[in-house]
Amino acid sequence: MVAADSSGEIRGILGITLKGESATIDTIAVHPHHQSQGIARALLQESTVRLRALKVATLDAWTRDDPSTLRPWCHGSSRGGHRRSRSSSRQLR
């Protein structure tokens, strides 16, 4: 999914992989100039609506604070340091 302004400029992205009744967030990012405007929240809310319609039961997310894994235009958004991966699951039904 892509969040863009009226001129087509991309403000945020959300990539999800589906596997059976579960889904995993692969990528979620908001351009640094457009953060704190609810863009990521809107992408997540819309994805939840679409996943429920597809009968997906679980949405998983893995997070890392590793600058080498960030997209170039998001590189400055890392708060530094390296942390172990963490996971979170949310039941959609």
Taken in order of first residue, the domains within the chain and their CATH numbers are: 2-91 (3.40.630.30)
pLDDT at 14: 94
Backbone φ, ψ for residue 31 (5° rounding): -55, 135
Q: Are 14 and 1 in contact (CB under 8 A)?
A: yes
pLDDT in 10s for each residue of the chain, 93 residues: 999 999 999 999 999 999 988 999 988 999 999 999 999 999 999 999 999 999 999 988 877 666 665 555 444 443 433 334 455 566 676
Give the residue from 79, 57, 24 showing the smallest Cα distance to 14.
24
Q: Are 57 and 21 in contact (CB under 8 A)?
A: yes
pLDDT at 61: 84
Residues 6+ apart with CB under 8 A from 90: 58, 59, 60
